Structure 1
């Protein structure tokens, strides 16, 4: 990720006066060094030219017009990128896929993945240059602006003064707050889990279902660890299934607070503890569950830590450290998508060799197909890999 930008400021000139405010960027983008104040009279083409040159655009017009301008910038960026990539049609061609006469994308999977990531990073950088200012108490002084204070306080805490941020980030904060209030239905619990901003939401239910249905054996284990708990959903499922006590860990302070809230709301506060830790807590457990990030690539924000794992480091650390934290008859449940294998980012041989080198054996495996909407999106540059994806729960034990 980019360097820490905590405490940085953004400056601009407005009405002949130089002004400044704090700079907020969840993906740790640096504040733009040049800022131009714009309003409803600017054309989308003019705004696009300014943004392409790296100039921040501080929006002072109608809030909904600002959102429409953001969509117009997105369309121009996609068209411009498609024109540079070639004459093929569709998002796959725009992101570097090579098309045959029949229209199918023919490209190395890893190259396609890299091109997709590069496209999204460039798109995020450009759209992130459309800015808004929030005043004291997160006041958004734009015509027809929504009330953003509750959502911003939920994401960032109490306001510490005026700040500027991208309109895309503000939209993410507002959307996340709606998910936090509404919650995500979890069939295995018959309840809802409420994700916080910056915490990976359990909308991909297949991995939850694997933990909910994999058999324990003769009886539920007495103790369990849930590593990288996020919202606490897997810890809640384990407790719902009758495990005595669960220790849930996460390196993200937002996730720790989120998991604590969810477990308390579900009535599990007495049998669960949530601690901020980098993977394993102290001690041993009868069952250790981990759903690590599944793609070996660099994350760009705290939220992406739930998806991207540079060099498969978290995965390897879990496998290497498992034996030292299991009881004598204990078992590890590793929930992992094989999407990285279909993208040529990691091989099955490398994965299985890592398990053998750690002195572990696979005693069983349960598979499920993903159900998220991108599996059926044929226009997705990674459609071929996604359509072949399998999510598995690997049951691991020490070698006898």
Structure 2
């Protein structure tokens, strides 16, 4: 084995300056050191390490007051990036069996194997912030998630969009004419839309996702739900080969660059995924087929898209809206007045569009 392996979700280079620290380190001292460019290898107590990261986070500046939703969005993203760059410099080490090398450490080996596979080095280095996210995801994967309308629990994997926000899922429950139909699910994530349609009578679903973790997650969930004989998932940027009666997609809804691998479920730089879906939709539909596109208007409310943008894109591609159904946002951030983006999120509408070729 190689001696050391650095793990990062953002493809950040391995630390060039890694200084051992322990429980004597204060949050103020840690902030001073990481701002000078150090990475700090924590060798003390696990619970103290978590408290240190929390204390550092509380000392970071709040986003400045913004005059517009777009300014608030930009400020929020900068704040989250600063938080990531700062807190990710607290690093921990794992041995060749993924045992965490700090006192009172929890068992993290299963969570690590779920994400990284078997160890490739004598020592693995990872930011504590990333490792805590992996532990949280492993717990979701273990206990599963109840989804409205789905018989059986969904078991999400780390790095795959977690469908705790159910407004878009509930819109799909209004789609009743699915019996016997062949379906494509473009950008499947956990596979939740595929499984809802299969349980409601679809003959088969071929799903795609560009992320190998999502592909593995959807395949595992199909097996857990007893749907694997009618479900196939491929690693692909957009469409699978062939045509279908229904082509569905819940694309990333914010047209901004993702900053890490996890971001790709939410951020779609220059609308590449969405436009690719619209470009290829007609040629992947059987005669009489339909596209089902679910899309939030948050990008419009933030000023990232013009209100007429989607209509213009559909017209350019010879697509028309046969029907649509909408629902207001009911997720927690829509009700949180302390959220910097509350003015936009409180007005957010999610719409399911039935799309067909023709003007």
TM-score by length of 1: 0.87
Partner SS state of residue 251, structure 2? coil
Aligned pair 1:125/2:85, yes or no? yes
Alpha-carbon distance between aligned partners in 1 of 2:222 and 2:27, rounded to the nearest angstrom? 47
Contact 1:32/1:54, CA 8 A, preserved across alignment:
no
1:192-231 → structure 2 map (5 Å cutoff)? 192-216=153-177, 220-231=179-190
> Structure 1 CA distance, aligned partners of 2:206 and 2:28?
54
TM-aligned CA deviation for residue 375 of structure 1: 0.8
Alignment partner for residue 158 of structure 1, among 99, 104, 118? 118
1:273 Cα offset (Å):
0.8
Which of the residues 222, 227, 231 maps onto 1:268? 227
1:221–1:286: 8 Å Cα contact kept in structure 2? no
1:72 matched to 2:60? no
Q: Moved runs in structure 1, 4+ residues, more than 6 A?
A: none
- Residues 119, 323 of structure 1: alpha-carbon distance in 2 compared, 3 angstrom cutoff: same
The whole-number CA distance in structure 2 between the counterparts of 1:344 and 1:30 is 34
Q: Residues of 1 paired with 2:106 and 2:290: CA distance?
A: 50
Report the aligned-residue RMSD. 1.4
Of 51, 63, 77, which aligns to 1:95? 63
Per the TM alignment, residue 221 of structure 1 is displaced from its structure 2 partner at its CA by: 5.0
TM-score (norm 2): 0.97
Match in the other structure for 1:342? 301
Q: 1:51 aligns with which of 10, 15, 34?
A: 34
- For the residue of structure 2 that corresponds to 1:177, the secondary structure is helix
Tell me how far apart the structure 2 counterparts of residues 97 and 357 of structure 1 sit (CA, whole Å).
Answer: 39
Find the aligned partners of 1:187 and 1:292 in 2 and give their Cα distance. Answer: 20
**Whole-Å separation in 2 of the counterparts to 1:246 and 1:45:** 53
Give distance in 1, aligned partners of 2:218 and 2:253.
21
Match in the other structure for 1:15: none
- For structure 1, list consecutive stretches of 5 or more residues without a partner in the other structure: 1-6, 10-19, 82-93, 99-106
Give the Å deviation of 1:142.
1.1
SS at the partner of 1:69? Answer: helix
Higher alpha-carbon Rg: 1
